[in-house]
Amino acid sequence: MNCDKFKDECGVLGIFSKTSRNLSRRVAFGLISLQHRGQESAGIAAYDEGKVRHYKEMGLVQDVFNNDILESLKGTISVGHVRYSTTGESHVSNAQPLVINYRGGSIALTHNGNLVNADKIRDELELSGSIFQTSIDTEVIANLIAKNYSLGFKESILKTVQQIKGAFALVIVCEGKLIGVRDPNGLRPLCIGKLPDGGLVLSSESCALDVVGAELVRDVKNGEMVIIDENGIESITYDDSKRVAHCIFEYVYFARPDSIIDGVSVSSSRRCAGKTLAKEHPVDADIVIAVPDSGIDAAIGFGQESGIPYGIGLIKNKYIGRTFIQPDQESRELAVRLKLNVLKENIKGKRVVVVDDSIVRGTTSRKIVDALKNAGATEVHMRVSSASVKYPCFFGIDTPNRKQLVGSSKSDEEVRELIGADSLGYISVKGLLESVGKTNCDMCTACFDGDYPMDVPEEVDKNMFE
């Protein structure tokens, strides 16, 4: 099923403590709660008395770390990362944290996002003698920090984040400090939490704060760098010239419903989107069901607004590893059936509204509609809690190129016909923004309307649209 969704990006997490050297275990627990953001590799780096030790491997957090490894990663600062590869191959050399050693010590760097000028900077750095060992954007950032390091850690990071362009939430450990930086548009999320012992946490999502026992303090602001040490939090605004453009897809699909991102509950925003969808695309039906999991809140909202009872119609098998699913057509079809099965007794003889969070290629929607009709649904009405996806993302989300986005080349009626539904309705961009309680001055909605919050380089633009 995942083959027909936007792919999640990465998750970052860091903990600073004055009292404990046993933080990597907590980071591992926190990373498990961020696992939905990346399942290809996981890593943790711990800072202890000037030294950085790290371990990273391909696989899920629970498979990568065991007791012995976590025992070897003691330290008063620990940072971790889960990765889905949006740039760079899926290989352990591209896993994070990325640790670089320099004359004065070591830096461990984790990054969620994607730079739009990484290739240009990489070329320039290579011309001036830098050697790259990975194909990830994060190494470009690490090399820039190393190049600027004579300025001191603070100035070198500040200079670096002013040179890079794109989406980035960075969590860095160096010189006994835990550092968080969010890009000038605030595209990728990053929040701050506080532990009962006064320790501080940086995380992609607040659901990981709950797991490590921290309280949400606030989000890191767009264009802000925070430096955390025994004195607390130092905040530096390094760029306040860009418009806020938080990624709206965090609320639609990427983030966990129990997270609060930039002050908005993900679960509540999805319920609100479902209510708006019911108002914008009403239909007579007997049951509202969700495509689990990310469609559940919107389906409940749709049911509340329409008065049509919400029920369970599709059962998700949660125990499917990504590597098991081979990328050929037959395996993909098997995978859809393996991942989602119809609860026939709830569907047979009924007019069904099925709520999904998005339609990307349309192939999965077609299979879901077929499966519901085969199970005896008399009508199937597809309702989608995101607007029609027409443009690719350049900011750390793996999207197909424009040709493969069904909403880009086909009208809504053509998509309805393609997926075989009796009716199809997408929430409007306006309705979606209202469900998050924001306007298009606060959010990136570029995958719906092509209004990118920064210039997209011509060569990237050309490749993505081919």
The residue ranges that bind ligand SF4 (CB under 6 A) are: 187, 247-249, 393, 395, 397, 444-447
Measure Cα distances from 367 to 336, 419, 430 in Å. 8, 8, 29
Q: Closer CB to ligand SF4, residue 60 or residue 387?
A: 387
Nearer to ligand SF4, 115 or 446 (CB): 446
3-state SS, one letter per residue, for 342-358 = ECHHHHCCCEEEEEECC
Q: How far is the CB of 397 from ligand SF4 (least distance, A)?
A: 4
Residues 6+ apart with CB under 8 A from 441: 243, 244
Opening angle at CA 262, ends 260 and 267, nearest 5? 30
CB-nearer residue toward ligand SF4: 340 or 444: 444
Element (H, E) at 64: helix 61-64
CA-nearest of 121, 155, 156 to 136 is: 121
* Closer of 187 and 354 to ligand SF4 (Cβ): 187
Is 444 annotated as belonging to a binding site? yes
Residues facing 191 on adjacent strands: 203, 219
Give me the amino acid identity at 272.
C
Asked whether residue 3 is marked as a ligand-binding residue, the answer is: no
Asked whether residue 441 is marked as a ligand-binding residue, the answer is no
Please say which residue, 47 or 394, places its beta carbon nearer to ligand SF4. Answer: 394
The whole-angstrom separation of Cα 107 and Cα 100 is 5
| Residue 447 assigned as binding residue | yes
Q: Are 223 and 184 in contact (CB under 8 A)?
A: yes
Q: In whole angstroms, what is the distance from residue 118 CA to residue 143 CA?
A: 11
Q: What's the min distance (Å) between Cβ of 71 and ligand SF4?
A: 39
Q: Give SS3 for 460.
A: helix
Q: Is 109 left (phi over 0), alpha (psi -120 to 50) or beta?
A: beta
Token readout for 348 is 């047979």
For ligand SF4, which is the closer residue by CB, 43 or 166? 166
Sign, CA dihedral 397-425-406-311, equals positive
Residue nearest to ligand SF4 (CB): 393
Query: What's the CA gap between 175 and 344, in Å, rounded?
Result: 59
Please give the Cα distance from 61 to 208 (Å, whole number): 14
- Tell me if 357 is assigned to a ligand binding site: yes
What is the spatial distance between Cα 458 and Cα 440, in angstroms, rounded to a whole number? 24
Shortest separation between residue 242's beta carbon and ligand SF4, angstroms? 14
The verdict on whether 10 is a catalytic residue reads yes
123 is in an annotated binding site: no
From the list 3, 10, 191, 441, the catalytic residue is 10
Q: Is 240 annotated as a binding residue?
A: no
Residues of the binding site: 247, 294, 356-357, 393, 444, 447
Residues of the binding site for [4Fe-4S] cluster: 247, 393, 444, 447
Residues of the binding site for Mg(2+): 294, 356-357
**Mind telling me the catalytic residues?**
10
